[in-house]
Amino acid sequence: MVVRVRIKLGGVRRKRVPARDSLVAAVRRWSSPASGAALALALWRLGYDLNWTKRFAIPDGLFSHWQLWMALAVLFQVIAAKLEHHPIHRA
């Protein structure tokens, strides 16, 4: 008869969370608020174009168009939806 005894020496080790998983968690956490901010800027610029507001913070250039801000809002929301079910390791 063979009896094996296993003895664990040392403390409990925590599984190290890879940097990629913490990046995924940060993007997932901030993508929905970024979508809301982009939507607010899109509506503000649209209101400026319809003469409902006095002025827009970015008067000219690429980021002065409401279509860009609306596209960014949709993109951030899609990213949030895709990462909602992403399996990340919890330490």
Global confidence as pTM: 0.70
| Each residue's pLDDT tens digit, 24-53 | 888 888 999 999 999 999 999 999 999 999
More confident residue, 90 or 49: 49
Q: Looking at residue 1, what is its pLDDT?
A: 84
Mean pLDDT of the chain: 86
Could you tell me the two tokens for 79? 């990213």
Q: Which amino acid makes up residue 42?
A: A
Q: Looking at residue 15, what is its pLDDT?
A: 65
Q: How large is the average pLDDT for residues 68-75?
A: 97
Q: How large is the average pLDDT for residues 54-61?
A: 91
CA 6 to chain centre: 45
Alpha helices by DSSP H, listed for 1-91, are 19-49, 66-83
